[in-house]
Amino acid sequence: MKKEPSWWRLRQIRHRDAVILSVLSSACLLAGELVDSTEINITTVYRDFIAPYLDNPPVLIVVIGLTILGFTTVFGGIFVLLGGLHFSWGRIGRGRFLTGLGLGVSLLGLVGKLSRTILAIGRATGKPFGDPVVALLAVSVGLTGPGILLGIGSHTLMGHYALMLKKHAKRIWRRWRKARRPTHRSSKS
């Protein structure tokens, strides 16, 4: 029967895997945003999407909200990369927080890509909004989805690693307390 690896070996394995997944996730998120941002930048967004609806405030508010959501994936990729870096330095809580923050922002970015696609389809048809189903099919082809899935895997591994360290510290603490306990002898006289 194969001997179970020591806690230190498990620590090293989980540590490495979470950092590698974090770096891959960040690369996918940043590459997905760079590929998609070639046709739309902030100046064309105002001219093409916001300016035509300045006289219609309800539609303008929705269009501005969709525009703001459209540019968040870059921040998500940077936060996931910073989370992996902090995790590799041993700052487990901070690394996991930054990775989770990056994933949340990236999910907003995925919704943003969906919103940009809805706006672009609407502009092509002459309506304020396009068909969401066609937009969802167009967005599902990019690298943001795999980046988010890799980030979720990294975040989960970071959680398992933190739990393993917590259990090991608790076991060490109990051994130390047990060794320092005074022996209780009954004094029957």
Structure tokens at 47: 């001219």
Q: Residue 69 has which token pair?
A: 């959501």
**Going residue by residue through the chain (189 aa), what tens digit of pLDDT does each one get?**
677 766 556 555 557 788 888 889 888 888 877 766 556 666 677 788 788 888 988 888 888 877 766 667 777 888 899 998 888 887 888 888 999 898 888 888 777 777 777 777 777 777 777 777 777 776 667 787 788 888 888 888 888 777 777 777 777 788 888 887 776 665 565
Report yes or no: 25 and 85 within 8 Å, Cβ to Cβ: no
| Eight-class DSSP state of 2 | P
Query: Distance of CA 10 to CAs 7, 96, 153, 160, Å?
Result: 5, 18, 17, 11
